[in-house]
């Protein structure tokens, strides 16, 4: 009997991981902000903005999904689309930090962007006439993970921060990306397809064994049959086998 995973179990684990990672990132955002107040720098100001946007969106999405679970593939795809938009926004903020663009109010800018993403996430739970499919959710999940890997790479390249802080921050960002990908439902859809394929293969094997015709008697005694075949090819007369 084939076993299937409970999708609610995967979603619950993803929500817990998202809340934990979001709380850690929010604490890091406050620490980075206080450090920026004492020693201001252009790159760190954009890092503060990104660290305000990312954990706020994660905490709001995880809290809203736990209070009102996502129902329907279309709603789940729209929610994952907001996660992908937040990932692209945070990645753009980190890139702006490398361009030395001035950001005088990092906390205010991050709060405004996070509020806009919060309203978009709430609107994503409204049923829409858009169609969705499993390949689309898989593409969104892969894009989210790749985006968070890019954010983690930019964090690791910021040598103005301590090495242990950069490594822990990058690991937390990757955890957020994996949690978003798990919440998208792509892994559950892939698991269901693999389970159906395995069940179909097992069923076809059972049917094949059940309806396999009985082997002819010639296969029970292959040696005499081969000798007679060689004699026919060589032109010899082969005596037919006597019947008992």
pLDDT of the residue at 171 = 93
Q: Averaged over 207-228, what is the pLDDT?
A: 50
- Output 49 or 238, whichever has higher pLDDT: 49
Mean pLDDT lowest for which of 15-24, 51-60, 85-94? 15-24
Average pLDDT over residues 116-145: 74
Global confidence as pTM:
0.69
Give dist(CA 10, CA 14) in Å, integer: 6
**SS3 category, 60:** helix
CB 137 within 8 A of CB 189: yes
Query: pLDDT at position 134, please?
Result: 55
Chain segment 7-24, per-residue pLDDT in tens: 567 677 777 888 888 888
Query: What's the chain's average pLDDT?
Result: 74
| Cα distances (Å, whole numbers) of residue 83 to 22, 76, 183 | 13, 11, 10
Q: Residue 238: is its pLDDT beyond 50?
A: no
Lowest-pLDDT range of 15-29, 42-56, 128-142? 128-142
Look-up of token digits 């084939």? 2
Q: Retrieve residue 193's tokens.
A: 């397809």
- Distances in Å between the alpha carbon of 28 and those of 24, 74, 149? 6, 34, 18
- Please state, in angstroms and as integers, the Cα–Cα distance from residue 156 to each residue in 53, 94, 150, following that order: 19, 11, 10
pLDDT tens digits, residue range 170-217?
A: 999 998 888 888 877 665 544 444 445 555 555 555 555 554 444 444
H-assigned helices in the chain: 7-38, 42-67, 73-98, 106-124, 134-156, 163-183, 186-210, 217-220, 222-234
């Amino acid at each position: 009997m084939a076993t299937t995973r409970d999708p609610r179990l995967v979603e619950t684990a993803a929500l817990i991981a998202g809340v934990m990672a979001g709380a850690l990132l929010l604490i890091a955002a406050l620490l980075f902000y206080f450090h920026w107040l004492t020693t201001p720098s252009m790159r760190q100001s954009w890092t503060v903005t990104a660290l305000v946007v990312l954990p706020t969106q994660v905490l709001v999405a995880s809290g809203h999904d736990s209070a009102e679970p996502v129902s329907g593939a279309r709603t789940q795809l729209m929610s994952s689309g907001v996660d992908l938009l937040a990932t692209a926004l945070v990645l753009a903020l980190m890139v702006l930090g490398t361009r030395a663009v001035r950001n005088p109010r990092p906390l205010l800018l991050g709060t405004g962007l996070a509020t806009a993403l919060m309203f978009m996430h709430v609107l994503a739970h409204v049923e829409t006439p858009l169609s969705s499919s499993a390949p689309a959710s898989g593409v969104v999940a892969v894009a989210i993970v790749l985006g968070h890997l890019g954010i983690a790479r930019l964090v690791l390249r910021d040598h103005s921060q301590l090495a242990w802080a950069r490594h822990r921050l990058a690991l937390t960002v990757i955890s957020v990306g994996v949690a978003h990908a798990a919440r998208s439902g792509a892994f559950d859809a892939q698991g269901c397809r693999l389970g159906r394929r395995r069940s179909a293969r097992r069923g076809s094997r059972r049917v094949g064994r059940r309806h396999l015709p009985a082997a002819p008697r010639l296969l029970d005694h292959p040696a005499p049959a081969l000798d007679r075949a060689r004699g026919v090819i060589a032109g010899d007369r082969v005596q037919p086998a006597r019947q008992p």
